[in-house]
Amino acid sequence: MSTTFTLDTSTSRANPTPAPMKRLTIPAIRARKDAGATAEPLVMLTAYTVRMAQLLDPHCDMLLIGDSLGQVIYGLPSTLPVTLDMMCAHGAAVVRGSYHSVVVVDMPFGSYEGSPQQAFASASRVMAETGCAAIKLEGGQAMAETIAFLSARGIPVMAHVGLTPQAVNQLGGYGARGRSQAEYARILDDAKAVADAGAFAMVLEGVVDTLADGVTASVDVPVIGIGASAQCDGQVLVTEDMLGLFERTPRFVKRYGDMAGFVGDAAAAYAADVRARAFPTADQIYVAKRKSDA
Ligand code: KIV
């Protein structure tokens, strides 16, 4: 699966058009848990742009347009200022660039917590404008009613429990959760509540490993870990983190590349060529036709 695609900017379609590939479905993702622990862990990465979606899609089961795009793409201090407009624009781009993965779009802060009706209005807009298969929202027991409301109306919901970044002000930071007995029990109850409410899967973020193992064993839907445990039913990372785009690597991230180094080296080589008039060369310029060729 190493075809290189280019983007036809007039249609926003990949070129060549990839061979028709059946897209995975929500029931197929959900069913991976049916035999108890998921035999082959589910693979999920974030994607925000069409080209990244094209590159990641053949390797993933799910692509997530995370509201982490606030920090990664827009340089915002947290996910809190992210808007529905941003999620719709990037979600549509990722759907255009993918053919195989289930595409899940994050609901931004403030777009769903008010009531199940508010959540339905926001989620249905996201699904209609992007073509994604599911939405993700943060919260445990407090969101159970909303998850049931959306699921009963044709909107597949991925829940997000444990460390929930949209609640950073209430939590006081991004540290791992579940270290106290009370918090451990509350997060386990959150996970059971969202599964019982009808979430088809859940992200479990930033919790002690025993809690991650306990949640995975206690619910009958796939648990996708990030900063959790290898025993979860799948894993997700922010793609730019695992590619090494940032200086800081959080503890739960494994770096699979040095994108920052690659980009910096390429930019330095380009700058040196421009300053030395070594770029463009004859290969990169258009030569005027001679009169005799016309
Ligand atoms: O916003 C995001 O990228 C996420 C993942 C880290 C799970 O929610």
The pLDDT tens digits for 29-64 are 999 997 666 779 999 999 999 999 999 999 999 999
Q: Quick one: which of 175, 168, 181, 162 has its CA closest to 219?
A: 162
Q: Is the pLDDT of residue 249 over 60?
A: yes
* Whether the CB of 236 sits within 6 Å of ligand 1: yes
How far is residue 55 CA from its own chain's centroid?
14
Q: What value does the mean pLDDT take over residues 98-113?
A: 98
pTM above 0.75, yes or no: yes
Domain locations along the chain: 2-265
Ligand 1 center–CA 279 separation, angstroms = 40
* Whether the CB of 238 sits within 6 Å of ligand 1: yes
**Would you say the C-alpha torsion 114, 115, 121, 124 has a positive or negative sign?**
positive
**2-265 adopts what CATH topology?**
TIM Barrel (3.20.20)
The C-alpha atoms of residue 84 and residue 132 are separated, in whole angstroms, by 14
Q: What value does the mean pLDDT take over residues 232-242?
A: 98
Ligand 1: nearest atom to the Cα of 68: 1
Residue 257's identity, in one-letter code, is G
For the purposes of burial, counting CB atoms within 10 Å of the CB of 131, is it exposed (0-12), middle (13-18) or buried (19 or more)?
middle
Q: What value does the mean pLDDT take over residues 173-187?
A: 95
N-terminal to C-terminal alpha carbon distance within the chain: 44
Of 72, 135, 205, best ligand 1 pocket probe by most atoms within 8 Å of the beta carbon: 205
Ligand 1: nearest atom to the Cα of 224: 7
Q: Is the pLDDT of residue 289 over 60?
A: yes
Tokens 């969101």 sit on residue: 143
Q: Is the pLDDT of residue 234 over 60?
A: yes
pLDDT above 90: percentage of residues in the chain: 87
Q: For the chain, how big is the Rg over CA atoms in Å?
A: 22
Q: What value does the mean pLDDT take over residues 102-120?
A: 98
The C-alpha atoms of residue 161 and residue 157 are separated, in whole angstroms, by 13
Q: What value does the mean pLDDT take over residues 222-235?
A: 97
Average pLDDT, the chain: 94
